[in-house]
Amino acid sequence: MPDHHDQKVRDIMMRAHDGQMRKDGVTPYWKHPVKVRRILRSLGYKGAILDAALLHDVIEDGDPSVDWATQILDAAGWEVLELVMWVTNTHWDVKPKRHIRQEWECRRLSQAPVNAKILKLADRLANLRDWDDLDAGFRSLYLNETKQLLLVTMHGDHRIHHEISKIVSRRQVLR
């Protein structure tokens, strides 16, 4: 049975992703952050990084009229909010081209604390494990972006880093 704190974190995640679906159009989106948390928990992580795993897409993908940052802060504290903010893509009023946004996010992430890098790696690993849900035309771009991400997260968790590297190598051979 989850404790009161854990339930507040889960409630925020569920409200933020209410009605959202994964790219396959069938899987509820909230299952993705649960998978990210499961990856981290299986590797022995505890505490703030597990809460941040559940909340990592809330600010980026939740209703923009809601102050998710304050809700995360009130429910889980500064450490969790900081991790979420590090892995949240920068908001752009006018979006530059994808390759510019990707370069910016990698530069920013290179300055992130280790736990933020670990969280980002677990997020990427969960997405790569759902490979079949990615649009075939998007897969090549995603692999290239993943290689960039691996360069700036080398000081994250070596186990996740290694698994992602193996997946990228295997997927490139299959192309």
CA gap 40, 173 in Å, rounded: 28
* Residue 34 near residue 59, CB atoms below 8 Å: no
114 contact partners, CB below 8 Å, separation of at least 6: 155, 156
CA gap 132, 106 in Å, rounded: 25
- Looking at the annotation, which residues are catalytic? 60-61
CA gap 159, 6 in Å, rounded: 26
Three-class secondary structure of residue 50 per DSSP? helix
CA gap 151, 148 in Å, rounded: 5
